[in-house]
Amino acid sequence: MHNYISGSILSGTLNVQSLLICSITSVILGLGIGFLYRFRNTYNKGFLLTLTLLPPIVQLVIMMVNGNIGAGMAVAGAFSLVRFRSVPGNARDITNIFFAMAIGLTTGMGYLGLAITFFIFLALVELIFLISPLGSEKEGVRILRMTIPENLDYENVFDEVLDYFTESYTLQSVRTVNLGSLFELQYQVELKGGESQKEFIDKLRTRNGNLTISLSRPFPSREEL
């Protein structure tokens, strides 16, 4: 078992059989990373193709520069340029790109058992984290936007209603609209369970002059690296 995980199938001169075995393993693991990326995530076909083909590409490069320190340093510099010249992605995008590159590096050195074990371990960690509620936004969190007349003192007028219908609330922004004749307030609120959203909005309408009110879920944030 130890030899299977830590042993390399490459010994001496590279041959066609070893190249095919490593390439097939890289493609299969790349497909696995692509399907893992699809889970509970928005995606496009081009990025899935990138995750699938990146391991065999990295694998081939590593095989070609094997034993050549200068060429290896040049390849490392090229990969760093790809990161800084590309469009910034969110944390999960970048993590899966490095995941695919790590698989390619491992298969490129012939450690197929290690690559498969590493893939299974990280896939399980990622799935457990995605399924668990850790880091998820609270169910009752909403974005409340209200339009009010310019002469209305908004700092205290809605506090009573907000205290009754929400667990917590934060005034995030205030801006003028309609050429400065109106104000638009934006709150992040956490609604209390069991309270009617319609009744909540109706109570607010009686205090904002029956102007526009919207209550929506927050957009998922894209953390960039």
Q: Where are the domains of the chain?
A: 2-131, 141-216
The SS3 call for residue 60 is helix
| 91, amino acid identity | A
Amino acid at 190: E
Q: Phi first, then psi: give them for residue 113, nearest 5 degrees.
A: -60, -40
For residues 62 and 78, what is the distance between their CA atoms, to the nearest angstrom?
13
pLDDT tens digits along 65-116: 775 656 655 665 666 555 544 555 677 788 888 899 889 888 888 888 899 9
Strands lying side by side in the sheet with 166-177? 166-177, 182-191, 141-149, 213-216
127-141: string of b/e by CB count within 10 Å (b at 16+)? eeeeeeeeeeeeeee
pLDDT digits (tens, 9 = 90+) for 138-177: 667 889 999 999 888 888 889 999 999 998 899 989 999 8
141-216: CATH number: 3.30.70.240
